[in-house]
Amino acid sequence: MSIDGGPSRFAFWGEVPPGYMTQTQLRELDLPRAPGGPVRATVEGRDASGHRATFDLYLVSESRPTEADAAELAQSAARRTTGARVCEQCGACPELPCTRVDAWLLCAACAHVDKLRARQKQAADARANAVEQAGRLLADERLAVVHFDYDDGDRVRLTALDAAGNPLFDILMSLDMSLDPAAAGPGDPPRGAVGPREAADRIRRALQGRVMLVWHADDLADFSHALHGLDIEWPFPAGYGNRHDLFHLALDWRCDLDPHSGQPRPLVPPGRADRMLYLLGQIAVPAEQYLGRPPRGHR
């Protein structure tokens, strides 16, 4: 973005809108041009050596033709041995030189599609791993799906289900140590907020020996920070393999890539423990069972 009327600043090439080019790009046009105005923007990227660099951008609308006439352009094209102007995949004739991808010279669109296909192949491998891990979790009778729901104050509702969807606890926990707890009876929903120490004890007893699945590791980090300030012992299972993150399983399973960046699209949280368990069940089912046949391009 432009600051105080100065040049706009872009963090990467994907942010640069049409109509901007570097001096080199203008010079490499099929009909070359030269900057006709001041630097209008900058972009962060990497140079030909792979080093981080900042590139000056000019407005194409302010550029002017170089002094080369038609005869000189034809002679230059005849001498050209690199940077073919015809895409070897789709036949496009772009104004800028094609990009070499493996053994092919590709236009920007074909090069982008090729990169997306490569990224999709990587995502497919991650998806297979997610399906396998979800199946193992669902088959583990120790599984506890735990959901955190913070309100606007100093309370958090914690709910947990086993692999069959049976409730393990439903606790409205206050983070106020001065609260006189009003605990509910066993198996009943709480009538009011439970004090933090009592809530931690109930959680610890319910999850003893279990494997825990949360939506995101940040849920545990936020809760850990709150309990640390209250000097309360950590009530959740610890140790390698005893805590799992549904967010990253779902991210790998969905394989839903942004077509511009090639990165996974953001996920919307399930919002409840039962919906988390439902999502885990979806992840555990291979795509072939949904489609009735292998996905297109599957080998």
pTM over 0.75: no
Residues of the chain with pLDDT under 50: 1-3, 180-190, 291, 299
User: Residue 273's pLDDT is what?
Assistant: 96
- The enclosing domain of 196 has a CATH number of 3.30.420
- Please give the order of strands across the beta sheet that includes 211-214: 167-174, 155-162, 143-150, 211-214, 243-245
Q: Which of 162, 168, 172, 174 is nearest to 205 (CA)?
A: 168
User: Residue 83's pLDDT is what?
Assistant: 62
- Length of the chain counted residue by residue: 299
User: Residue 239's pLDDT is what?
Assistant: 82
User: Residue 186's pLDDT is what?
Assistant: 42
Domain stop point among 52, 78, 104: 78
User: Residue 138's pLDDT is what?
Assistant: 94
Would you say residue 89 lies in a domain? no
Co-location of 56 and 176 in the same domain: no
Domain stop point among 46, 78, 110: 78
- The pLDDT tens digits of the residues spanning 270-295 come to 999 999 999 999 999 876 555 455 55
User: Considering its fold, how many domains does the chain have in total?
Assistant: 2
Which residues constitute the domain of residue 215?
Answer: 119-299
User: Residue 168's pLDDT is what?
Assistant: 96
User: Residue 176's pLDDT is what?
Assistant: 66
- Is-contact 280 137, C-beta < 8 A? yes
Co-location of 132 and 254 in the same domain: yes
- The pLDDT tens digits of the residues spanning 151-162 come to 766 788 999 999
User: Residue 295's pLDDT is what?
Assistant: 55
Domain stop point among 61, 78, 95: 78
Co-location of 152 and 233 in the same domain: yes
User: Residue 102's pLDDT is what?
Assistant: 87
Neighbours of 105 (CB within 10 A): 19
Where residue 5 falls (left for φ over 0; alpha for ψ -120 to 50; beta otherwise) is left
- Exposed/middle/buried for residue 257 (C-beta within 10 Å: 0-12, 13-18, 19+): middle
Co-location of 274 and 181 in the same domain: yes
Co-location of 70 and 163 in the same domain: no
User: Residue 161's pLDDT is what?
Assistant: 97
Co-location of 71 and 129 in the same domain: no
User: Residue 82's pLDDT is what?
Assistant: 60
Between CA 84 and CA 67 the distance in angstroms is: 23
